[in-house]
Amino acid sequence: MAGEFRIAQHHIGEARETAKAENSMSEEVMGRALLTEVLAVLSQQHTPSNLKEMIDYQLENLSSDEFVVTRGC
């Protein structure tokens, strides 16, 4: 697995654990907050239609053990 995925999983795990531990937070809302922030960052480099294609691709491949990481080679 690429290092980027390990880092992302680590930070998502920490955010979810924080949401679980805090009475004023919810895991569901944390998930939406993370998604919103990721989409905001990606929207700086991709059009809405490209983002939709990326999301559709990832959703179709959720059952895979690992996502394929391409580096534009």
Per-run averaged pLDDT (10 residues), the chain, 73 residues:
89 96 95 96 97 94 66 57
Cβ-proximal residues to 21 (8 Å cutoff; 6+ apart), any chain = none
Residue 34: the pLDDT is 97
CA distances (Å), origin 6, targets 42, 46, 57, 67: 18, 23, 20, 12
Query: Position of tokens 């989409």?
Result: 39
Residue 65: the pLDDT is 60
